[in-house]
């Protein structure tokens, strides 16, 4: 290996790896119960495929990936699904989420499975094999491995992360010592999928035995080399390891593939080899159990879904003397408040520390602006500013200071003299930014749906209006054409008007000499029909003028004729009502007067309940009631007269 490039910042905490890196990997016994969270990876949670009561075999698919960035989940052992329920998840905030609970039967009965020859299948089948096995990043991030293996750009270099820089953790160290051939086989499969790029295995210089074994296993293999790098935390961070090995920096907001690079963990390479060569899905992993409270500190092959309490019992951890139980290492791990959480695909360590082994959680002091956090930040951020922005919930400013580039390594908190839990503030800010972004997307989606619906309704209304206009113009044109073709046809409106004129010219001797009962109704009907036809013809003329229709002149003539007819019909109706002695306006005036008198009576009656001078109000009520009765009598007299006149007309 050639030159090694330094990266900004970093710290040198006590390694404490001797506690667990000496014993060989021990396979833990099958626990009585397994609890498998449906979200063990970055991306969409898997979807449970089975129901409570279903018997499953070891390696059977029990939850399928949902979407491109997701991963399958398989039964780690044979048994029966006894529950699908909410359980506490291995998360810094102790969140709850859906989990599949399997009561094991101790038989370890496998499904039928077999490996394939990677050289005899195409890339699509090879990639599908890895995707079906539910393999995710084993270094802690939990990113679905099949996604990384489908890079859209040309990959020139594959980097295998064997640095394992965090204190206490030795899972990758022991994995290399005991499974170097399988790891190399997995690396060759990855190279095959990426068109055989050069490969560099980055490993810290504090793993002398692993380096020697790996170098020996690579004898005679071209294209893969081991790069020994200085021990410095966090050299195992993806971006930091890329910078150490290539001198290149992943751009802000970018991914390694933008530089023609892909990075995988050694545990991921081993899991890929198991999936392809043996047909085994990812159902177990090597997990370090360490700390002074662990009587049998070491590395254990643990089934996914094993509860931490069962693992602690198997490693003989004295929980009574455990001051803090941490999932992960002391730098990036988080304290467990519930021992019933499960080991998942990204669980690389359980740290059971005794009193004073780890710094106690204490109240932090005010920031003294010493600047040490900026000095050690490997992402070259301004941790102090990000802390202030997160504390003040100024998330826009935090984002503008590249909050997303924080890898949460904890180096800033390690050197902080005020003991401020900086990483917790950054995690909080990232979570809020993610939530706000999701809410914004939902609001924008709702706005677009509303605007689309409103526009659709407007378009439908306009389309209906256009159809109505077209029908009206066509009907008016057809009527005009009909009249032009048969000018001698009798017009019912003209006939009604003729009868009215004839009645007007007849001598008016008495009410009994009036025409029969149909005359009054015929006049009212003729007037109403004429007004309606005039209104429709006027609308059709307006639409025809707007659209440039060729029947405008004909429609104008029709409107003029109907205007004359409407005026004549209304005049005839008014003359007939006058002749009968009826006046609609006078009747309306009488109705209004009676209503007003009634309102006065009701108001006075309400005032009587609260008035001090009741006698005065009562006198006013008597006067108002008299006026109301008089108004009603006048209205009834008029209506009686109107009824009598109409009856006389009908009798004639």
Q: Is the pLDDT of residue 509 over 50?
A: no
Give the residue with greater pLDDT, 304 vs 493. 304
Position 337 confidence tier, pLDDT thresholds 50, 70, 90:
confident
The whole-number pLDDT of residue 373 equals 95
Task: Look over the chain and give the mean of its residue pLDDT values, rounded to a whole number.
Answer: 86
Q: Is the pLDDT of residue 467 over 70?
A: yes
Q: Which residues contact 35 (CB under 8 A, 6 or more apart)?
A: 87, 99, 100, 101, 102, 305, 307, 340, 342
Number of H helices, E strands in the chain: 17, 17
φ and ψ at residue 378, rounded to 5 degrees: -75, -20
How far CA 345 is from CA of 115, 140, 184, 297, 301, in Å, comes to 21, 8, 21, 20, 12
The whole-number pLDDT of residue 615 equals 65
**Interval 236-249: pLDDT, tens:** 999 999 999 999 99
Q: Which residues contact 301 (CB under 8 A, 6 or more apart)?
A: 25, 26, 27, 28, 284, 285, 286
- The sign of the torsion formed by the CA atoms of 63, 64, 66, 69 equals positive
What would you measure as the largest C-alpha separation in the chain, in angstroms? 136
Q: How far apart (Å, rounded) are the C-alpha atoms in residues 127 and 608?
A: 92
CA dihedral 135, 139, 140, 146 (to 10 degrees): -30
One CATH from 3.40.50.2000, 3.30.70.1340, 3.40.50.11540, 3.40.30.10 for 26-353: 3.40.50.11540
How far CA 41 is from CA of 44, 65, 90, 139, in Å, comes to 8, 10, 12, 12
The whole-number pLDDT of residue 144 equals 93
How far CA 425 is from CA of 328, 332, 384, 477, in Å, comes to 19, 14, 11, 77
Q: Which residues contact 579 (CB under 8 A, 6 or more apart)?
A: 508, 514
55-56 β-sheet, strand order: 33-37, 96-104, 79-88, 55-56
The whole-number pLDDT of residue 503 equals 65
Angle at 261 between CA 376 and CA 279, to 5 degrees: 110
Angle at 215 between CA 212 and CA 216, to 5 degrees: 85
Q: How far apart (Å, rounded) are the C-alpha atoms in residues 408 and 403?
A: 10
The whole-number pLDDT of residue 508 equals 47
**Interval 28-51: pLDDT, tens:** 999 999 999 999 888 889 999 999
Q: Is the pLDDT of residue 512 over 60?
A: no
Instruction: Please give the average per-residue pLDDT across 544-566, as a whole number.
Output: 73
**Interval 72-106: pLDDT, tens:** 999 999 999 999 999 999 988 888 999 999 999 99
Q: Is the pLDDT of residue 493 over 60?
A: no
What's the pTM value of the predicted model, to 2 decimals?
A: 0.70
Weakest-pLDDT range from 221-235, 397-411, 491-505: 491-505
Domain boundaries, the chain: 26-353, 362-462, 463-509+520-580, 584-651
Tokens of 91: 């998360």
**Interval 357-390: pLDDT, tens:** 887 766 788 999 999 999 999 999 999 999 999 9
Is the link from the previous residue into 234 a cis peptide, with omega within 30 of 0?
yes
Distance between first and last Cα of the chain: 125
Query: Long-range contacts made by residues 454-462, C-beta under 8 angstroms, separation at least 24?
Result: none
The whole-number pLDDT of residue 224 equals 95
Tokens of 37: 């969270």
The total of other beta-carbon atoms located within 10 Å of residue 471's CB is 11
């Amino acid at each position: 290996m050639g030159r090694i490039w330094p990266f900004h910042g970093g710290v040198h905490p006590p390694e404490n790896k001797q506690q667990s890196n000496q014993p060989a990997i021990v396979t833990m016994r099958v626990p009585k119960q397994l609890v498998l969270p449906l979200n063990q990876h970055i991306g969409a949670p898997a979807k449970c495929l089975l129901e409570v009561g279903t018997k499953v075999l070891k390696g059977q698919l029990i939850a399928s990936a949902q979407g491109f960035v997701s991963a399958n989940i398989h039964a780690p052992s044979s048994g029966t699904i006894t529950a699908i329920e909410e359980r506490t998840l291995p998360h810094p905030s102790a969140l709850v989420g859906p989990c599949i609970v399997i009561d094991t039967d101790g038989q370890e009965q496998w499904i039928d499975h077999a490996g394939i020859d990677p050289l005899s299948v195409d890339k699509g089948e090879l990639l599908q094999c890895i995707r079906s096995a539910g393999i995710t990043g084993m270094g802690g991030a939990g990113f679905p491995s099949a996604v990384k293996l489908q890079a859209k750009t040309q990959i020139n270099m594959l980097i295998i992360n064997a640095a394992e820089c965090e204190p206490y953790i030795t899972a990758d160290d022991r994995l290399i010592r005991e499974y170097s051939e399988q790891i190399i086989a997995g690396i060759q499969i990855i190279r095959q999928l990426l068109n055989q790029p050069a490969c560099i295995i980055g490993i810290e210089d504090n793993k002398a035995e692993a380096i020697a074994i790996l170098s020996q296993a690579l004898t005679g293999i071209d294209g893969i080399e081991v790069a020994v790098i200085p021990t410095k935390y966090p050299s195992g961070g993806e971006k930091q390891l890329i910078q150490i090995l290539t001198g290149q920096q992943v751009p802000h907001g970018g991914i390694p593939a933008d530089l023609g690079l892909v990075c995988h963990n050694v545990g991921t390479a081993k899991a890929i080899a198991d999936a392809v060569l043996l047909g085994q899905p990812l159902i177990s992993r090597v997990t370090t159990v360490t700390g002074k409270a662990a009587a049998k500190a070491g590395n254990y092959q643990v089934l996914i879904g094993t509860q931490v309490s069962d693992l602690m019992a198997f490693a003989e951890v004295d929980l009574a003397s455990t001051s803090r139980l941490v999932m992960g290492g002391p730098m990036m791990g988080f304290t467990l408040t519930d021992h019933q959480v499960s080991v998942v695909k990204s669980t690389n360590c359980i740290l059971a520390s005794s009193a004073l082994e780890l710094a106690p959680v204490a109240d932090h002091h005010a920031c003294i602006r010493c600047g040490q956090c900026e000095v050690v930040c490997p992402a070259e951020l301004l941790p102090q500013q990000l802390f202030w922005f997160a504390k003040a919930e100024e998330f826009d400013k935090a984002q503008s200071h590249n909050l997303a580039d924080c890898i949460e390594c904890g180096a800033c908190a390690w050197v902080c003299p005020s003991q401020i839990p900086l990483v917790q503030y950054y995690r909080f800010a990232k979570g809020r930014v993610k939530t706000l972004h999701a809410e914004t997307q939902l609001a924008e989606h709702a706005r677009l749906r509303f605007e689309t619906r409103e526009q659709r309704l407007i378009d439908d209304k306009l389309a209906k209006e256009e159809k109505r206009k077209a029908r009206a113009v066509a009907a008016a044109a057809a009527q005009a054409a009909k009249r032009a073709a048969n000018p001698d046809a009798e017009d019912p409106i003209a006939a009604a008007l003729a009868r009215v004129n004839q009645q007007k010219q007849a001598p008016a001797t008495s009410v009994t000499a009036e025409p029969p009962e149909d005359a009054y109704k015929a006049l009212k009907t003729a007037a109403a029909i004429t007004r309606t036809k005039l209104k429709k013809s006027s609308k059709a003329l307006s639409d025809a003028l707007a659209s440039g229709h060729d029947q405008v002149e004909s429609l104008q003539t029709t409107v003029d004729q109907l205007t004359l007819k409407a005026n004549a019909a209304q005049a005839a109706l008014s003359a007939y009502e006058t002749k009968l002695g009826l006046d609609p306006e006078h009747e309306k005036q009488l109705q209004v007067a009676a209503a007003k008198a009634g309102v006065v009576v009701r108001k006075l009656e309400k005032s009587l309940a609260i008035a001090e001078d009741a006698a005065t109000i009562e006198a006013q009520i008597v006067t108002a009631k008299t006026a109301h009765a008089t108004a009603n009598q006048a209205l009834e007299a008029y209506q009686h007269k109107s009824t009598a006149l109409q009856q006389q007309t009908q009798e004639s």
